[in-house]
């Protein structure tokens, strides 16, 4: 990037909001994925007008632009594979309006999810998509990813809560998409298309979000299963029974062992644990749903059934799930927890089989993998525990990831449930959506004819995720 281009950006956002030191570029070149690349410059806009000016300039000069929220993505969505400008949106962090009577709020993209919920709480409402990373994840990043979390089974993903947005297009023009209403049948719902587009179509500068009342009663239960198949059957039966849990989580034996080994929680070493939660405004409704779920668990040989309304008790029951991430990271001194084949969604009836398949593929490829997830929404997560400095482990990981997604496609599941595609899931995504890739490319072209927004991602990503970028690890 030429000096005059950096000077132009400094003119737009001010000198102190531009970084070009190699250390800054190295930091902003990675996220929570295995990938690493470097932008040419990092820029922090403060308002819509600045974003418009930056985009118009970048479009004219054909400079790539990657929008970045917290940089907590797991698949390399914000890793700038073609360099260019990284737009750090964390300065656009204002909650613009909370409107309880019309049930929406307006926020800038840099607002942190937990901060929004903190501000909504006095109104007795919450913004429900809330991914596990809500303490740092920004609304802009969640929109880019169509993020969701443990409560997606009842409250849906980001797309379900986004009513509208303002978006700066690559040529610098500003468009208002969607509405402030609960329903809309006014042509193409382009704001829904922006959700999950991973920064490839436009820069979101404002979002209108809906929220829901905070339930007065919440009860969490747990059941242990000696056989994974039984847990899988219980999940499918619960979801078919007409009950809508506010959370339904599966934790497999590898995860239980990891938690027990590192946290000493003394969980029963069974093949699977199910965590189920119900919430409502009246206790009777919660009782009814919890009882119904416990009956299904019993029918499928679930044991050790416990449940509680008490927040402290609930925290105790949830401890194993909550401590899962740290447990996996600390599983072994030589193994690192890598975000690979990190998420997928499969039909309910295939949850148990998918977990078994993941174990089978891991064993065959000499790596450790666990299976857990928000099975109430069909979402399965995993992590690959491997020695990231060994080349042969990357060969194994590459094979395992391919095998897992081949299986997911075979059971009519989908490549990503909530973490998105980025770089590391691009080949699986392309295989799954093979007959609509040209359509997607045409859509991208209509929004971004010069291909400056997050180039080299989704359908345009490298076929082989291992060699698509530098890996963040040093391989011996």
Partner 1 sequence: METRTFETKYLDKWKSNLDSCIRCGYCYEHCPVFKDTRWESDAPRAKMIMIYGLLSGKLEPSTYISDKLSSCFYCGRCVAACSSGVPLNEIITDAKRDFQGTEFETPGTTSVTNTDCALCLACVRSCPHEAREFISGKIFTDTVKCQSCGLCVDICPNQAVATLLSYGTDRSSLNQEVATFLDKDNAKAIVFGCNWSYFPDLQSSAMDLEKDPEYKILINMCGGRLEKPLLLEPLLQNAWGVLVACCPDGDCEHDGNVKAATHVAGLRELLKEMDIAEDRIQLVQIAHGDKTGFQAAIDTFMETVNQLGPLNPR
Which residues form the interface with partner 1 (CB under 8 A)?
A: 19, 21-24, 26-28, 30-32, 44, 70-72, 88, 90-91, 93-97, 107, 110-112, 114-116, 118-119, 133, 135-136, 325-326, 329-330, 333-334, 336-339, 388-389, 472-474
Least distance to partner 1, CB of residue 118, Å: 4
Q: Which is nearer to partner 1, 65 or 139 (CB)?
A: 139
Q: Which is nearer to partner 1, 353 or 470 (CB)?
A: 470
**Closest listed residue to residue 268, CA positions, set 236, 216, 305:** 305
> What is the Cα 99 distance to its own chain's centre?
27
Q: Which is nearer to partner 1, 90 or 151 (CB)?
A: 90
Whole-angstrom CA distances from 26 to 7, 19, 21, 60, 470 are: 21, 11, 9, 26, 12
Least distance to partner 1, CB of residue 141, Å: 11
Least distance to partner 1, CB of residue 186, Å: 28
Least distance to partner 1, CB of residue 134, Å: 10
- Is the Cα torsion angle 52, 57, 58, 59 positive or negative in sign? positive
Q: Which is nearer to partner 1, 389 or 451 (CB)?
A: 389
Q: Which is nearer to partner 1, 136 or 305 (CB)?
A: 136
Q: Which is nearer to partner 1, 376 or 388 (CB)?
A: 388
- Distance, in Å, from the CA atom of 38 to the CA atom of 24, rounded to the nearest integer, reads 9
H/E run at residue 166: strand 162-168
- Distance, in Å, from the CA atom of 239 to the CA atom of 232, rounded to the nearest integer, reads 11
Look up residue 123 and give its DSSP letter: G
Least distance to partner 1, CB of residue 451, Å: 26
Q: Who contacts 244 (Cβ-Cβ below 8 Å, separation ≥6)?
A: 153, 154, 289
Q: Which is nearer to partner 1, 206 or 271 (CB)?
A: 206
Q: Which is nearer to partner 1, 32 or 414 (CB)?
A: 32
**Closest listed residue to residue 321, CA positions, set 255, 245, 225, 254:** 255
Q: Who contacts 245 (Cβ-Cβ below 8 Å, separation ≥6)?
A: 153, 154, 238, 276, 277, 278, 289, 293, 376
Order the strands of the 203-209 sheet from edge to edge: 104-107, 203-209, 162-168, 174-178
Least distance to partner 1, CB of residue 322, Å: 10
Q: Which is nearer to partner 1, 72 or 208 (CB)?
A: 72
- Distance, in Å, from the CA atom of 45 to the CA atom of 93, rounded to the nearest integer, reads 11
How would you classify the pairing of strands 336-338 and 343-345? unpaired
Tokens of 327: 């447990």
Least distance to partner 1, CB of residue 350, Å: 28
- Distance, in Å, from the CA atom of 474 to the CA atom of 397, rounded to the nearest integer, reads 16
Q: Which is nearer to partner 1, 254 or 328 (CB)?
A: 328
Least distance to partner 1, CB of residue 223, Å: 26
Least distance to partner 1, CB of residue 222, Å: 22
Least distance to partner 1, CB of residue 471, Å: 11
Please answer whether residues 359 and 254 qualify as being in contact, where contact means their C-beta atoms are separated by less than 8 angstroms: yes
């Amino acid at each position: 990037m030429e000096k005059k281009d950096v000077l132009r950006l400094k003119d737009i956002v001010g000198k102190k909001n531009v970084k070009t030191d190699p250390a800054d570029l190295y930091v902003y070149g990675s996220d929570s994925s295995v990938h690493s690349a470097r932008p040419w410059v990092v820029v922090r806009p403060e308002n819509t007008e600045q974003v418009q000016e930056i985009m118009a300039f970048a479009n004219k000069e054909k400079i790539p632009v990657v929008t970045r929220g917290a940089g907590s993505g797991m698949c390399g969505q914000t890793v700038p594979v073609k360099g260019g400008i990284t737009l750090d949106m964390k300065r656009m962090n204002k909650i613009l309006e909370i409107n309880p009577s019309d049930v929406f709020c307006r926020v800038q993209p840099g607002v942190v999810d937990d901060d929004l919920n903190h501000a909504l709480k006095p109104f007795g409402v919450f913004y429900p998509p809330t991914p596990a990373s809500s303490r740092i994840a920004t609304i802009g990043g969640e929109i880019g990813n169509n993020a969701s979390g443990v409560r997606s089974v009842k409250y849906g993903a980001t797309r379900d809560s986004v009513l509208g947005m303002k978006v700066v297009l690559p040529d610098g023009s500003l468009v208002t998409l969607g509405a402030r209403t609960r329903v809309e049948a006014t042509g193409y719902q382009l704001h829904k298309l922006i959700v999950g587009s991973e920064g490839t179509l436009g820069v979101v500068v404002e979002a209108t979000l809906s929220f829901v009342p905070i339930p007065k009663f919440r009860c969490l239960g747990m059941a242990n299963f000696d056989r994974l198949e039984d847990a899988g059957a219980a999940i499918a039966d619960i979801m078919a029974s007409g009950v809508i849990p506010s959370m339904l989580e599966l934790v497999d034996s590898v995860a239980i062992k990891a938690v027990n080994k590192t946290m000493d929680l003394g969980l029963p070493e069974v093949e699977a644990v199910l965590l189920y939660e119900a919430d409502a405004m009246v206790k009777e409704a919660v009782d009814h749903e919890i009882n119904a779920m416990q009956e299904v668990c019993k029918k499928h040989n679930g044991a050790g059934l416990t449940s509680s309304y008490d927040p402290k008790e609930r925290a105790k029951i949830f401890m194993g799930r909550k401590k899962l991430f740290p447990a996996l990271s600390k599983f072994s001194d030589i193994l690192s927890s890598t975000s690979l084949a990190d998420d997928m969604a499969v039909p309910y009836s295939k949850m148990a089989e998918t977990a078994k398949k993941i174990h089978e593929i891991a064993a065959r490829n000499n790596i450790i993998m666990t299976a857990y997830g928000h099975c109430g929404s069909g979402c399965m997560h995993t992590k690959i525990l491997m020695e990231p400095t060994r080349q042969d482990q990357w060969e194994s990981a590459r094979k395992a990831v391919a095998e897992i997604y081949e299986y997911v496609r075979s059971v009519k599941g989908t490549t990503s449930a909530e973490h998105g595609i980025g770089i590391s899931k691009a080949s699986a995504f392309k295989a799954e959506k093979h007959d609509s890739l040209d359509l997607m490319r045409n859509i991208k072209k209509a929004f971004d004819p010069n291909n400056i927004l997050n180039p080299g991602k989704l359908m345009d990503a490298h076929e082989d995720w291992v060699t698509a970028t530098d890996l963040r690890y040093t391989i011996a």
